[in-house]
Amino acid sequence: MPRVFRKTVLFSAISLFTGAVFAQTEVKMVDISTSPSHKITVERRGEIVLIGINRPAIQNRLDPEAYLALAKAYYDYDHDPSLRAAVLFGHGANFSQGLDVEGFKAVASAGGVTLGDGLIDPLGKKMPGLTKPLIVAVHGDTWNMAHELFLVADIRVAANNTNFGQDENTHGRYPGGGSTVRFVREAGWGNAMRYMLTGDHWSASEAYRMGTVQEIADPQSDLDKAIELANKIAANGPLGIKATLASAHRVIDPAQVDALSNLDVQRAALYKSKDFQEGRKAEAEGRSPVYHGE
């Protein structure tokens, strides 16, 4: 069922790696409507904010412009002291089918999208990252980069119709947005390799079994459940919430930072390969690709 967008419309940050304290520049996050010209939408609801991927005509695939708009939304949320929790979701019938490959092809070959000041990497490959909670609500197709955006979130809600996929290897690519690190960490080696190496898709119940999903809901109520969780978090002490996240990140981030930082270099090399071109050509021609490892 298509998603309908319902319009009801410092202290200091703690460094994830060093524990150092630094002043944050405060901003005021503003609403962004569901106009077709807006690839990312923003709706404030008191102390929480809803961030929506808004490209339903192409299954919410993200191109560089949408990715940078999402990075801006994450930064504004993290630096707005009036907001305490955020929910990421997708407009339309799917959360997202992931990367807009043609849109990203040129920047990927050059090493990826450049993220400057005033942006936070939505895939969490570059630091600093979010210091405040992110909840994600997914439904329908949640593939590849979309699954990697999902894995970055602190709490994850999935509709029971969610179709997860990490099938880049079937297209001559690879999971270059963080799943080789986070999926392995969250689901365990065997579970992650079972799906990344085969390209098979999996269900919400399988994701729950693997531990990547915390709540399963009906397609009509997954966003409501995520909002409920966000409001519960927003009612708690914000300093304690940020300290909890910072402390927990100190356990996992040092071990994964090198692996995450190398992803764009590895992806750029694959985008220049003959196998990548074969994968794109085969997909366009509706046939099975023939790979040669070149």
- Residues annotated as part of the active site: 148, 168
Angle between helices 145-152 and 179-187 (to 10 degrees): 60
Give the up-direction half-sphere exposure of residue 153: CA atoms within 13 A in the CB hemisphere. 26
Tokens of residue 105, six digits: 């092809």
- CA distance from start to end of the chain: 42
CA dihedral sign, ordered 271, 276, 279, 280? positive
C-alpha–C-alpha distance, residues 293 and 54, integer Å: 36
DSSP track, 58-101? GTT-B-HHHHHHHHHHHHHHHH-TT--EEEEEESBS-SB--B-H
Query: How many CB atoms sit inside 10 A of residue 292's CB?
Result: 8
CB contact at 8 A, 86 and 77: yes
